[in-house]
Amino acid sequence: MKRFWPFILFVVLAGFLYVGLYLNPREVPSPLINKPAPMFTLAQLHEPSKQFSPSEMKGKVWLLNVWASWCVSCREEHPVLMALAERNIVPIYGLDYKDKREDGLGWLAKGGNPYTMSMSDNEGRIGIDYGVYGVPETYVIDKDGIIRYKQIGPVTPDSLRETILPLVAGLQAK
Amino acid sequence: MKNICKYLSIALLCLLPTFAHAGEAQDMAADPVLEKRMIGLADKLRCLVCQNESLASSHAELAEDLRREVRELMKKGMSDDEIKDYLVARYGDFVLYEPPFKRYTLLLWVGPFALLIAGLAGLMLQLRKRKQAAPETQLSAEEAQRAAELLNSKDPQA
């Protein structure tokens, strides 16, 4: 037994390192999960004279997707969101993060608009309140305005099927 | 009188560059004390985009925004700890370079010391065992004399 100790220690260490290989250091767990979505009032992207506030969404399950015309991964995510919008399961609201209004509008006109509505966060202040650090990010917000899930990085067909949509269905049934 | 005028105008001209400077980098120059305090705090905070850089040294756009935010919170009169709490509420403990002592950081904080103590304990046990395995031997008078001879002899070959 005694001579196996170094081997056992090696296996334990190798186990830790192996698990570490598959962890994504970019995914920092958000402290906002199960907390109320931070309130804000922002001008709408398409009609800047009108405003939007998350309080209008009480009683609905919705997605808040943080995007920008300059964001490269958003291009990867865009067709997934377009397909989701067509299925009419859950409204997607967009937060156009640190973007120029005309750039944001141009990107939606060219690639299609999956959003029920988008808001302009030119200064990125609302982004800070939501702890955004890598666009795109997507929040699932429930009927009571509580953040239930945060997807860091692009929404993929897999993450949609395995995580987001089952969660949305569960929250809608409540 | 003429001379005084001359020197006075030269002295005034020398002051000119200080006025010229005031126009640029207003954020930094506006309040050097606040800027110093901001940098001091930002040094202890992690930039979430580059992760191994502090908020003070990072050039990521988010870091710039957060420095602006910290500056403004300081102007509002918030203490350093309050600003830390503000950022932790949004980005989690990960923004702190020095993680707080909590249940799930216990291993992180205590682990190295536990390993050190375990290592020392192991070493002590090993040494004690060795001492028991090799009991001290008594030299006979003859052996003691020979040992003394060897130690005292000047020629090591002898």
Q: State ipTM.
A: 0.81
Please state, in angstroms and rounded to a whole number, the distance separating the CA atoms of residues A97 and A79. 19
Distance of CA A116 to the CA centre of its chain: 16
Chain A interface, mutation test: which of B47, B62, B66, B102, most A Cβ atoms within 10 Å?
B62
Q: What is the pLDDT of residue B52?
A: 83
Q: Is the pLDDT of residue B76 over 50?
A: yes
pLDDT score recorded for residue B49 = 85
- CA B127 to chain centroid, in Å, comes to 36
Contact A43, A28 (CB under 8 A): no
Q: Do A133 and B49 touch (CB under 8 A)?
A: yes
User: Would you tell me the crossing angle of helices B32-42 and B61-75 to the nearest 10 degrees?
Assistant: 120
Note whether B49 contacts A134, CB cutoff 8 Å.
yes
For the segment A32-73, what is each residue's pLDDT rounded down to a tens digit?
999 999 999 999 999 999 999 999 999 999 999 999 999 999
As a whole number of angstroms, the distance between CA B124 and CA B130 comes to 10
Q: Is the pLDDT of residue B25 over 60?
A: no
Residues B91, A98: C-beta atoms closer than 8 Å? no
pLDDT score of B87 more than 50:
yes
Match 């702190």 to its residue by tokens: B96
Distance (Å) from the C-alpha of residue A87 to the closest C-alpha of chain B? 32
pLDDT digits (tens, 9 = 90+) for B148-158: 888 888 765 64
DSSP per residue over A32-49, as a string? TTTSBPPP--EEBSS-TT
Residues in B lying within 8 Å of A, measured between beta carbons: 48-49, 51, 61-62, 65-66, 69, 88-94
Q: Where do the domains of chain A lie, and which CATH numbers do they carry?
A: 35-173 (3.40.30.10)
Three-state SS string over B74-126 comes to: HHCCCCHHHHHHHHHHHHCHHHECCCCCCHHHHHHHHHHHHHHHHHHHHHHHH
**Omega within 30 of 0 (cis) for the link into A136:** yes
Interface test with B, best of A5, A16, A28, A137 (most B CBs within 10 A): A28
Structure confidence at residue A115 (pLDDT): 96
Strand A62-67 vs strand A92-97: parallel, antiparallel, or unpaired? parallel
How many Cβ pairs closer than 8 A exist between chain A and B?
Answer: 39
Nearest to B65 among A30, A128, A130 (CB): A128
pLDDT tens digits for range A114-170: 999 999 999 999 999 999 998 899 999 999 999 999 999 999 999 999 999 999 999
Report the pLDDT averaged over residues A85-99: 95
Angle at B29 between CA B23 and CA B34, to 5 degrees: 150
Cβ of A124 within 8 Å of Cβ of B62? The answer is: yes
